Structure formats: C-alpha cells, structure tokens
Amino acid sequence: MSTAVETRAFEAEVSQVLHLVTHSLYSHKEIFLRELVSNASDALDKLRFAALADPALTADDAELHIDVSFDDKARTLTIRDNGIGMSRDEVVENIGTVARSGTRKFLESMSGDARRDTQLIGQFGVGFYSAFIVADRVTLTTRKAGAAEGEGVRWESSGSGEYTLAAADVAQRGTTITLHLKEDEGEFLSGWKLRDLIKRYSDHVAFPIRMPVQKDGEPTEEWEAVNHASALWTRPKAEITDEDYQAFYKSLTHDFNDALAWTHNRVEGTQGYTLLLYVPERPPFDAVFSGRDERQGLKLYIRRVFIMDAAEQLLPSYLRFVRGVVDSDDLPLNVSRELLQDNRLVAQIRAACVKRVLDLLERLARDEPEKFRQFTQAFGNVLKEGIAEDGANRERIAKLLRFASTKGEDAGKTVSLDDYIGRMASGQEVIWYVTADSHAAAKGSPQIEGLRARDIEVLLLSDRIDEWMIGYLGEYAGRKLRNAAKGDLDLDADDADARKAAEEAAGPLLGKLKELLGERVGDVRLSHRLTESPSCIVLGEHDMALHMQRILREAGHEMPAQAPVLEINPQHPLVQRLEGEVDSAAGKDLALLLFEQAQLAAGDQLADPAAFIARVNRALLASADPDTTPASA
C-alpha cells in the first residue's frame, strides 16, 4: 500500500468558511462538540439503513456507538464512530469542498459584524469545520464500511488553506476525528465538562455516546454511556421538557436559535406514526438563495431506522419552512423517493402533518400573538403560497394571513381577514384591497381615496406574491375580495341622477383627453374613486397590475399590449386647468402629465422618462410665469 502524502488546497469557498468560523464563533465555541456528534450520529444512521440490504456491513461490530475521549497530556480530544465511514473520494467531496447551493452568495453577503455572522453561520451548518474553533490542527482517519483494512484514509489540516491526504491502515470501519486543541482551550480536556456538554446538546441522540469510566481521576479502558440514548420523539411527552425539545431542534437543524413552536403527536389506528414538527424562529440564511428548487423536508424514519433526509413528499411546498421528524411503523424499509410519491400511507401522513402544522399556527395566533407576529414576519409570504396550492385548506390558511390596512397603519401592525369583517360597515358586502410594489405606494394609492373618504377599510397588499395569491382567494367567509384599482367602482349608486349629470358635464373634457392621448389609453372616464388626486389608472377586473407587469418584463417575460383606462377627477385644479387650456401644445403636455403621473402611481415604468421631465419643467415654468409659453417637445 502506498503511503505517499498528497497535499491539496481547499476550495476558495472552504477557506472563507474556515476563516469565518475561526473568527466569528468564539462566543458559541462549545457548539463544535454538538456538530461533530451530530455528524457521527448521521454516519451511524446511514450504516444502519445500508445494513438492511447488506447485513455483512455490521457483522463484525453490530453495536453502533459514538466514543468521546481526551488525552490531557497530548492535549487532544477524539470523537469516534463505527458508522458508514468514507472512501478517499468521499473525504475530498465532503471535507475539501462545500457542495451546497448559494455558498458563494452566502459568503459574499457576510459583513464584518461578528455578532451577526455568528447567528448566520449556525444556520448555514458548517458541521465539521466547527472543529477549528477550538483546534489548531485536526486529524481524521476513516474507513468505509465493507472496505478492506488497508483502504483507510488519513486527512489532516491546520485550517490554513490546505490539507493532506494519505492512505492508511484503519483497523475498524467508521471515522475518528482527533482535535489538537489550542493552548487556551484546556476546558475541553475535562471529563466533567464533556459529559455536561453531551447531556446538554446531544442527550437525545439515539445511539450511545460513550466516555471512558474515570477512576481516581484517570480514564480506564471501560466505557460508559453518558446520554439518554433513545430517540426523543419516542419518549412520552410528559417526560420531555421544553429544554429537551429545544436541544433536539438545534441538533436536528444546526440552528443556534430556539424553535418558535413545535407539535409532538403519536397516531394510532389503521397505521401508526409519530410526528415531531418544529416552526423555526427565522428562515435558514442559505434558504434565501436556494429557493423552491432546493430539496427540503422532514427526516423520515421507519421503526426508528433512518431512511432519508428532506422527505419533501411529507409536506406541501408552502410549509417547507417546517423542520422535524416523521417515524412510521408501517412504511416498507426499502421505500424510495419515487415510491413515496404515490404511496397511500404517505398521503395519510402528509395530510396529518399539514393538519398538525395548521393547528399549531392557529394556536399561536389565538394564544401567543407576539410569537405569531414573529412567524408571519419570517414565513408569512411562504404561507401565502398555500392559497393557490392547497384548495382543501384554503379557508384555514386565509384565516392565518395578516395584511397591512388603512385602519391598522401603526408601524408593524397588521390585520386578519376576520378583523376586517368584524369592522365592516352595515351594508358592506365586499372586502376591499389594493396591490402595489411597496407599502408606501399601496398606502398612497389614488384609487383608494374614495374608499378612505367614506371610512371604508382597504387592505394594503405590497408583497410580490400578493397579486398572484389574491387571484386564487376570490372570497373569504362568504365575502368577495375586490381590488379597488380594477373595474367600475360604484360607491354612490343611490345618487344615480347626480352621477349622470356629472358625466354629461364632463363629456367635452373626456373627449378632449381621448383625442390628446390617442392609443395610449383604452378609455377616459369620470372617476368616482378620486377625491385628492387628479387622475388614476384603472384596469379590467382580470388584468394584471401594472407593477407586476413591469416586474415580469424586467425578468424577460413578454407581456401583451394593454391600453388602460384613465380616470380623472374634474374637481382637481390641474384637470380644470386642462379644461380651460386653449394652447394645443400646453394642453397636450397637461394631458400627458395626467396620464404619466397615474402610470407612476400605479407602479408602471414610463416609456420616455426624459420627455416626462421636460414636460414637468415646462409646466412648472408656465405656472411661475403665466406669460411664458415654452415650445412643446
């Protein structure tokens, strides 16, 4: 067997991660032990699953465990597992690179703020690299289960940008990680300290975590388990403390933050299964870059045997923020992702998971409003996807949504659809809303001026998903939802004679505007929405909002040509000035300004901003000096 040592450079991204770890995590340095024990537990889970198909993999050592030991003279701390182990290629892939989407963007987003970086790195899940928080050199030896003794691998690095690889004789399968501790990290050379950390962070690990028995202050060759060594979700809820649940969540997700809430249920009947589902406090940072295509989901166990990570079939996409464990008594152990797609038992478990999560969110909304507010800030937009994706639960999801409104404008205050209905005036049958590309634009939308003047509440929808989501909602609790910026708005139907007279009086002005604007508009009409603004754009009931059309065009999508309706307020001085304008060039400028400012207010993009600015300047000059008549562009 060749014993040649090969020196390799880390990928640039790994070097950046190592630098970030060693310079930003000192306030949480004991987390390294939880990360390394968690990795060892995963290796044991994978071996146990692989041994179902090939029992020979565990024939020589069927008792799976994790050993933690230290040598205070050599200043080393060792974590060893007899799990699946790694081949040479797997060592390079898993340790020499960071094969995770969004890594570069993640690193580019880091600031020099060590405290903020500390919060983010735990969500990123640095795992193995956390060893360099306390060690100035790390040695790893490993042998893949089923491989010969001479096919082991030795890896070593000081975390400075490169590592060495060499073949090695490794007597037993599994992985051994030896940390050569830094001078000021002697606290981790204490049996009491290590036992305390294992109990605090890893007590729930389903395999024995062993340490040498101490006698007269010295370790012996006898080993003892120092953790509970049973899957937390299998224990009676009455025996599990909140601290136990939080510790399990952090180990499961590699999140430094506590879970916001959780639900733990055992189901018996035609099939048996256990659910332990968590709602995080905030999204994992790398999820910002991974998007909907990144595989996410729950850990699936079958009769306590780990089957797969991220079993996305167990939850719909709009609940992808949920983390946790499903343990089934009845699914076959050889289940694959493909078999999960159409399995009747999986469909039942999925429906139960959805119900339990929605039950949990409803309880938070009812009993813990501050926590629920935190949830909606973190995941409210993801939940909105359920309006389109889950017709069976649409009403329940809609009940959980929160929106800004004209009667809840205090900073951070939102309202539910039930709040809105409870405040509706006598005779009001419609839930009014308006969409825009920002809260300020929605709040200042000219299309809602008439509703505001009549003290009618309007929901202010400004998230990008809202325009798409609201198209699927349609109605709630028997009340139709209607966009105040679309279609006819007949707020004074009981004063039909006055409306007709006003429209007849405005006839010449409307005709003048149609002529001046030409094909830019589909129609010009008198507005019953406006009380303060001179004009606004109105779309058809089923037309897409202008701000969404702009966003889609910017993303490269072709949008059909659409001539909007321009509504005008005849009481506004600018409109009255146009009505009395005799100069054709100035009249056209005013007409175009009425149209273009309405476009801007609706979130559209002007075809010729320079020409708009020139028109504004001419209008300002004309206002300052009525005798000045600038030439039209």
According to DSSP, residue 315 is labeled: S
Percent of the chain with pLDDT over 90: 54
Same domain for 211 and 237, yes or no, is no
- Is 485's pLDDT higher than 70? yes
Residue 206 lies in a domain: yes
The pair of three-digit structure tokens given for residue 184, joined into one six-digit string: 């000021």
Same domain for 93 and 40, yes or no, is yes
Domain end point (choices 196, 213, 228): 228
- Is 286's pLDDT higher than 70? no
Same domain for 24 and 142, yes or no, is yes
Question: Could you tell me which of 365, 288, 354 has the C-alpha nearest to residue 324?
Answer: 354
pLDDT band at 409 (very low <50, low <70, confident <90, very high): low
Q: H or E element: which one contains 66? A: strand 66-71
Residue 387 lies in a domain: no
Q: CA 366, CA 400: separation in Å to the nearest integer?
A: 10
Same domain for 172 and 271, yes or no, is no
Q: CA 16, CA 24: separation in Å to the nearest integer?
A: 12
- Interval 135-157: pLDDT, tens: 999 999 999 999 999 999 999 99
SS3 483: strand
pLDDT band at 360 (very low <50, low <70, confident <90, very high): very high
Residue 383 lies in a domain: no
Q: Is 536 exposed, middle or buried (0-12, 13-18, 19+ CB in 10 A)?
A: buried
The whole-number pLDDT of residue 287 equals: 46
φ and ψ of 74, to 5 deg = -80, -10
The whole-number pLDDT of residue 101 equals: 36
Domain end point (choices 208, 228, 248): 228
pLDDT band at 122 (very low <50, low <70, confident <90, very high): very low
- Is 25's pLDDT higher than 60? no
SS3 476: strand
Read off the pLDDT of each residue in 409-419 and give the average, rounded to a whole number: 79
Residue 372 lies in a domain: no
- DSSP string spanning 161-217? SEEEEEEE--SSSEEEEEEEE-TT-GGGG-HHHHHHHHHHHHTT-SS-EEEEEEETT
How far, in whole angstroms, is CA 491 from its chain's centroid? 40
The whole-number pLDDT of residue 129 equals: 82
Read off the pLDDT of each residue in 50-77 and give the average, rounded to a whole number: 93
The whole-number pLDDT of residue 625 equals: 61
Residue 441 lies in a domain: yes
The whole-number pLDDT of residue 469 equals: 93
Residue 408 lies in a domain: yes
- Interval 520-564: pLDDT, tens: 999 999 998 899 999 999 988 777 777 777 777 777 777 776 788
- Is 124's pLDDT higher than 70? no
Q: CA 283, CA 47: separation in Å to the nearest integer?
A: 31
- For position 545, which CATH number holds? 1.20.120.790
Least confident of 199-213, 216-230, 399-413: 399-413
- Is 624's pLDDT higher than 90? no
Write down the number of H helices and E strands in the chain. Answer: 22, 22
Same domain for 477 and 502, yes or no, is no
The residues with which 553 forms a beta bridge, in sequence order, are none
Read off the pLDDT of each residue in 586-592 and give the average, rounded to a whole number: 93
Read off the pLDDT of each residue in 100-115 and give the average, rounded to a whole number: 46
Question: By the 8 A CB rule, do 34 and 250 touch?
Answer: yes
Residue 168 lies in a domain: yes
Question: Could you tell me which of 261, 293, 453 has the C-alpha nearest to residue 363?
Answer: 261
- For position 130, which CATH number holds? 3.30.565.10
Same domain for 9 and 84, yes or no, is yes
Same domain for 274 and 162, yes or no, is no
Q: How many residues does the chain have?
A: 633
Read off the pLDDT of each residue in 569-595 and give the average, rounded to a whole number: 91
According to DSSP, residue 564 is labeled: P
Question: Could you tell me which of 157, 205, 176 has the C-alpha nearest to residue 8?
Answer: 157
The whole-number pLDDT of residue 494 equals: 52
The CB density around residue 314, as the number of other CB atoms within 10 Å, is 25
Question: By the 8 A CB rule, do 396 and 358 touch?
Answer: yes
Read off the pLDDT of each residue in 252-276 and give the average, rounded to a whole number: 91
Percent of the chain with pLDDT over 70: 85
Question: By the 8 A CB rule, do 154 and 64 touch?
Answer: no
pTM for this one?
0.73
Read off the pLDDT of each residue in 159-169 and give the average, rounded to a whole number: 89
Q: CA 483, CA 178: separation in Å to the nearest integer?
A: 64
The amino acid that residue 550 corresponds to is R
Least confident of 3-12, 242-251, 603-612: 3-12
Least confident of 243-257, 351-365, 485-499: 485-499
Q: CA 229, CA 630: separation in Å to the nearest integer?
A: 86
Compute the mean pLDDT over every residue in the chain, rounded to the nearest whole number: 85
The pair of three-digit structure tokens given for residue 581, joined into one six-digit string: 């304008």
Domain end point (choices 177, 208, 228): 228
Alpha helices in 230-301 (DSSP H): 242-253, 287-290
Question: Could you tell me which of 242, 248, 253 has the C-alpha nearest to residue 228?
Answer: 248
| Helix pair angle (609-624, 584-601), 10° resolution | 120
The whole-number pLDDT of residue 419 equals: 94
Same domain for 63 and 162, yes or no, is yes
Question: By the 8 A CB rule, do 307 and 326 touch?
Answer: no
The whole-number pLDDT of residue 120 equals: 38
- Interval 301-359: pLDDT, tens: 888 777 787 788 899 999 999 999 999 998 887 666 666 777 888 899 999 999 999 99
The whole-number pLDDT of residue 253 equals: 84
Question: Could you tell me which of 529, 512, 493, 496 has the C-alpha nearest to residue 575?
Answer: 512
SS3 141: strand
The whole-number pLDDT of residue 154 equals: 96
User: Under 8 Å CB-to-CB from 410, ≥6 apart: which residues?
Assistant: none
Residues spanned by the domain of 540: 493-624
Question: By the 8 A CB rule, do 52 and 91 touch?
Answer: no
- For position 465, which CATH number holds? 3.40.50.11260
- Interval 288-298: pLDDT, tens: 334 444 456 78
More confident: 379 or 633? 379
More confident: 336 or 389? 389
The CB density around residue 376, as the number of other CB atoms within 10 Å, is 19
The CA-based angle 12-15-16, given to 5 degrees, is 90
Residue 241 lies in a domain: yes
How far lies 452's CA from each of 65, 416, 446, 473, 601, in Å?
A: 67, 19, 10, 23, 17
What is the dihedral angle through the alpha carbons of 515, 516, 520, 521, rounded to the nearest 10 degrees? -50
Same domain for 522 and 441, yes or no, is no
Q: Is 326 exposed, middle or buried (0-12, 13-18, 19+ CB in 10 A)?
A: buried
Question: By the 8 A CB rule, do 357 and 322 touch?
Answer: yes
Q: CA 508, CA 101: separation in Å to the nearest integer?
A: 61
More confident: 241 or 10? 241
The whole-number pLDDT of residue 293 equals: 43
Same domain for 10 and 122, yes or no, is yes
Domain count, the chain: 4
Same domain for 411 and 265, yes or no, is no
The whole-number pLDDT of residue 133 equals: 87
The residues with which 480 forms a beta bridge, in sequence order, are 430, 475
Same domain for 460 and 511, yes or no, is no
- For position 265, which CATH number holds? 3.30.230.80
- Is 225's pLDDT higher than 90? yes
Question: By the 8 A CB rule, do 128 and 95 touch?
Answer: yes
